[in-house]
Structure 1
């Protein structure tokens, strides 16, 4: 029987997934909204497996454009294994997973290859940055202009 993590652990996974989505978005990557049909868009896809086992956790995958996915899927279905779209689709996925791993690691996340035959070319997010760590993209105190302050930056330029 499938067992789910506790409500508290589920909330922690949701919070970690939210932080991952925010960080990838801050890097300029398109991030698929939870529940969005992947036929409509491509980008980083962050999923939660809430199973109370070793296969559970937060996972990140890359979805190429719907058109490239359709070409690769068609070639695979027709056993056209020499079709360049198949190779290219795989290369794009591998490159984007490496890029997302680098972005997340730079921001303080612990990530590793999912090492799961059911999750090829996916990352497992082990942990987020320390809780006292503010995201690098968040507003700093010196960026906030207070009304009536004479030393507030003009025009928003540094």
Structure 2
């Protein structure tokens, strides 16, 4: 019987997943919105597996464009296993996993390979940064105080 994590742990995992999405968006990557139709989707996909087992946790994967996914499915369906597209698709996934792992680790997340045959080319995020606010959040010195100019003379919006 499938057993789910406690409500408290599920909430912690969802919060971690949200922080991961925000960090990847801050880096400029497209990130899928939960509930988005996969026919339209491409970019980083952050999912929570709320199972109370070793496979549970927060996972990050990469979806190539719908067109590339369809071409890859077609090659598999037709057993065109030597098609260069299959290697190319795998290389894209590997490169994106490496890039996203570096981005998340730099931001203070604990990231590892999913090491799961059902989650090939995916990362597992086990913890987030200790600091309360992300590095990209609005800082005190950016907030204009009453009576103070919002920008110094000579500052340009260009």
Same fold (TM over 0.5): yes
Gaps of 5+ in 2: none
The separation in 1 between residues aligned to 2:44 and 2:132, in whole angstroms, is 23
Are 2:134 and 1:95 equivalent residues in the alignment? no
For normalisation by structure 1, the TM-score amounts to 0.94
Gaps of 5+ in 1: none
Equivalent residue number for residue 138 of structure 1? 137
The separation in 2 between residues aligned to 1:12 and 1:134, in whole angstroms, is 16
Q: What secondary structure, in the 3-state scheme, does the structure 1 residue paired with 2:124 have?
A: strand
The separation in 1 between residues aligned to 2:145 and 2:67, in whole angstroms, is 48
Any residues of structure 2 matched to 1:6-155 within 5 Å, and which? 6-130=6-130, 132-150=131-149, 152-154=150-152
Per-residue deviation, 1:31 = 0.1
Deviation by residue 1:17-69 (Cα, 9 ceiling, x = unmatched) = 00000000000000000111221020000000000111100000000011111
The separation in 2 between residues aligned to 1:146 and 1:11, in whole angstroms, is 36
The separation in 2 between residues aligned to 1:106 and 1:52, in whole angstroms, is 29
Per-residue deviation, 1:83 = 1.2
Per-residue deviation, 1:153 = 2.1
Q: What secondary structure, in the 3-state scheme, does the structure 2 residue paired with 1:18 have?
A: helix
Q: CA RMSD in A?
A: 1.5
Count of residues in Structure 1 that have an aligned counterpart in Structure 2: 156
The separation in 2 between residues aligned to 1:68 and 1:97, in whole angstroms, is 17
For normalisation by structure 2, the TM-score amounts to 0.94
Per-residue deviation, 1:156 = 6.7
Deviation by residue 1:91-144 (Cα, 9 ceiling, x = unmatched) = 1001001000000000000000000000000000010001x3421111110011
